[in-house]
Amino acid sequence: MVLVPGMCLTKDPMGDNATGRLGAALLLFLAMLSGAPCGALAGESGLPVPRFASIRAEEVNLRNGPGTSYPVEWVLTRPGWPVEVIAEYEHWRRVRDVDGTVGWVHQTMLSGRRTALVTGGIRTVRAEPAPEADPVLRAEPGVMAELLACIPGWCRVEIAGRRGWIERTAIFGVLEGETFD
């Protein structure tokens, strides 16, 4: 069964069969009882879906289905690259990258290490979480950062050994409204 973020519908990735429809109905019923938004439900792993993770290995096959019998569409080659986990099926995770590319990877190819990519134009990392704070460094789009903490509007990052705060809207790798330290 696959949970699609933002929707209370599921689909069996192996086809639209009775098991998938029954599972979808059961998940919808449980979601309504819990009062939780559909996109915040736990996946098969018990972890929330959607969530962010990062690529663990030097080469990770991005497949068009949840299994080794499905063809490889892309190969991700940058360890630490952040991806959004948008669905789960057994040991497979459906992920989306910063460019919107979607595919399935085996769970062992993902890490819980939190990273982010700078997006848009050149962004300023600041000493404090405030637009008027002193700049620490400027980062170009595509620069990868280690995520250390997030508060409303800002995330604390480490880039090239230097730490500071960047506006949440300037990075890919954190969910809207997500906070952690």
- Each residue's pLDDT tens digit, 129-147: 999 999 999 999 999 999 9
Work out the average pLDDT over 61-73.
97
139: in domain: yes
Same domain? 88 vs 63 = yes
Sheet holding 92-96, edge to edge: 72-76, 60-63, 102-106, 92-96, 82-89, 51-55, 110-111
148: in domain: yes
Same domain? 152 vs 86 = no
Query: How many structural domains compose the chain?
Result: 2
13: in domain: no
Same domain? 121 vs 105 = no
Work out the average pLDDT over 13-42.
43
What pLDDT, on a 0 to 100 scale, did the predictor assign at position 28?
A: 39
151: in domain: yes
Same domain? 126 vs 141 = yes
Least confident of 3-12, 44-53, 87-96, 157-166: 3-12
For 100, residues 6+ apart whose C-beta sits below 8 A from its C-beta are: none
Least confident of 44-48, 79-83, 96-100, 165-169: 44-48
Question: Would you say residue 31 has pLDDT above 70?
Answer: no
Same domain? 74 vs 46 = yes
46: in domain: yes
What pLDDT, on a 0 to 100 scale, did the predictor assign at position 40?
A: 57
Same domain? 99 vs 38 = yes
What is the CATH classification number for the domain harbouring 145?
2.30.30.40
Mean pLDDT of the chain: 84
At which of 111, 136, 153 does a domain end?
111
CB-based contact 23:17 (threshold 8 Å): no
Same domain? 22 vs 72 = yes
Domain that holds residue 82: 18-111
Question: Would you say residue 98 has pLDDT above 50?
Answer: yes
The more confidently predicted of residues 18 and 116 is: 116
What's the farthest any 2 CA atoms get from each other in the chain? 59
